[in-house]
Amino acid sequence: MPFKKINFEFIIIGFICICIGLFSFARYMGWLQNSGLLSTIARTVYGPDIRQEMARLKRAKDIAPGLPVVTALCYHEVTPDRENDCMNVKPEIFRRHIREFKEAGYVFIHVGDLQNYASGLAPLPAKALLISFDDGYADNYNYAYPVLREEQVPGTFFVVSSTIGKENRMTAAQLREMQANGMKIGSHTANHVNLTDMGANEIDFELRSSKETLEKILGKPVCALAYPGGKVNDTVSDKAKSCYEMAFVATVRPETKQTMYTLQRYGVFSWNEHIESIFKNR
């Protein structure tokens, strides 16, 4: 019977439409961001979901007008070993992050671009992404740097000056080579100590001597600092102002007003398989 056939087709099409509608709604609500079959389908159909981060940046612009609007990431180790280390992101996952950020329309910048922006010399791209690495591990040179070069992405490496050339840390020659190939090197202090526990002279030493050591190695000014453990207070940030153009913490707190000396970064960890999950880190 023709009527029954039309009715049946109508039900099937209606059912498919409802499924697509529900799927799109779930994706819109951010329910499909965790890894799994549905999130894989969502990424295949729609690409990476970074709306949460775009909303944070918009808010950051309102809270602190004039400050660079940028997504900044903080990696530590990048190695195929160290299976159970939460601070380690495997090289293939690191490459995946870069490709997903490209797919999402990000433009990669380094601390020199932030400095130019702050000095009024150049604007920043609308979707700017700064990739940084803390602690100066040897694997940054062995595994992250080759990926960055292949993908033509600049990275910023925050190095602890007293550990340069020590076991499992990058050497002076490696830092120079990376700088010559478009990477930026910043300070992560001289000894990686909690600056908020120190007196004014000790803070001064940690900030100034690391800058001097790095500048001697690199032959160029070092403009950026990352606080060890992301720990900072007013005394520490005032000291940072006297030697650096900017300084970074290691967390993102959307409700907190940033300054050039408390620039926020998302930590990236072993469980961040796709870029959406990075923006859930606090």
* Residues near 12 by beta carbon (within 8 Å), at least 6 away in sequence: none
The piece of 56-64, 128-136, 149-157, 232-240 that touches Zn ion (CB under 5 A) is 128-136
- Nearest approach in angstroms of CB 156 to Zn ion is 14
In whole angstroms, give the CA distance from residue 62 to residue 59.
5
Size of the site for Zn ion (CB under 5 A): 2
Two tokens at 67? 């400050």
* Residue of the chain from 113, 135, 206, 276 that contacts Zn ion (CB under 5 A): 135
* Nearest Cα residue to 133 out of 113, 147, 123: 147
Instruction: Tell me whether residue 112 or residue 228 sits nearer to Zn ion (CB atom).
Output: 228
User: Could you tell me how many residues make up the chain?
Assistant: 282
Q: Name the minimum Å distance from CB 160 to Zn ion.
A: 7
Determine which residue in the list 134, 139, 245, 276 makes contact with Zn ion, applying CB under 5 A: 134
Compute the least distance from the CB of residue 251 to Zn ion, in Å: 13
- Cβ 267 to Zn ion, closest distance in Å? 10
Determine the interface stretch with Zn ion among 80-88, 123-131, 132-140, 167-175 (rule: CB under 5 A). Answer: 132-140
Question: Cα separations (Å) of 204 from 11, 105, 193, 215, 278?
Answer: 73, 40, 12, 16, 33
- Residue 173 CA to residue 99 CA, distance in Å, equals 29
The interface with Zn ion within residues 63-82 (CB under 5 A) comprises none
Helix (H) or strand (E) holding 134: strand 128-134
Q: Is 206 in the site for Zn ion (CB under 5 A)?
A: no
Cα 272 from Cα 281, distance rounded (Å)? 9
Of 24-32, 60-68, 134-142, 254-262, which segment contacts Zn ion by CB under 5 A?
134-142
Binding site for Zn ion (CB under 5 A): 134-135
